[in-house]
Structure 1
Amino acid sequence: MTDNELTVEDLADRLRTDDGIVVLDVRESWEVELCHIAQSIHIPLGQLPSAVAALPEDRDIAVLCHHGMRSAYATQWLRTQGFDRAINLAGGIDAWARRIDPTMKVY
């Protein structure tokens, strides 16, 4: 892990303690319909530039996608836009479903 990434276990812990972390899901709408983390904000990657103003700059933002590639790109882009607290969720929703919530649909 780097300082730009966090594990699904770390995110689960942070959500349990309600430390204010924001979960940003950059997957497409059809993917979110299959499964999602309840507390997440959904902004598809292609719409992120036009919706970025809706995100808080003063809180950690955990960015997720299916496996972590799109979210890594989104995290890098967010950091160039001044969101220094954007963090990629390593393994994405797939890792979350396999290691945190086994009732979640895997695709």
Structure 2
Amino acid sequence: MSDLLPDPETGIEVTPVQVAELLPAIQRGEIALIDCREDDEWRFNRIEGARFVPLSRFAEASPPEVPAIVYCHHGMRSLRATNYWRQRGVEAWSMSGGIDQWSAQIDPAVPVY
């Protein structure tokens, strides 16, 4: 596990602020940032550096080989996706509040819907 991420035993979520602090590790490929929203949402807005894996196709997608942070619109779908991967041995966390909170707290240039 990356030393930058919280212990998976202590929680399943990370905040947008924590994710922003992890952007250099995400850009280096040490942590995967996964957008689990659907195609129309992905086309509307996204966090730079994210990989698109819609929740509707999670079962057929190859999980990343590095720890992953999953986000959606408000954080509910990403919790389901994170639990799905964790049950399969993948180190994963959900970003609380989703891209909506990312826009409010980190990057207001990311449009909201």
TM-score (norm 1): 0.89
User: What does residue 67 of structure 1 align with?
Assistant: 74
2:92 is matched with 86
| Structure whose residues are more often helix by fraction | 1
**Separation of aligned partners in 1, 2:58 and 2:37:** 11
Runs of 4+ in structure 1 off by over 4 angstroms are none
Per-residue Cα deviation, 1:1-60 (whole angstroms, up to 9, x for no partner): x52110000000011355621101000010011110110010110101111x2521xx22
Q: Percent identity?
A: 36
The answer to whether structure 1 residue 32 and structure 2 residue 39 are counterparts is no
RMSD: 1.6
TM-score, normalised to structure 2's length?
Answer: 0.84
1:21 alignment partner in structure 2: 31
Aligned counterpart, 1:106: 112
Alpha-carbon separation, structure 2, partners of 1:16 and 1:10: 12
User: What SS is found at the alignment partner of 2:107?
Assistant: coil
Structure 1 unaligned regions, length at least 5: none
Find the partner of 1:97 among 71, 85, 103: 103
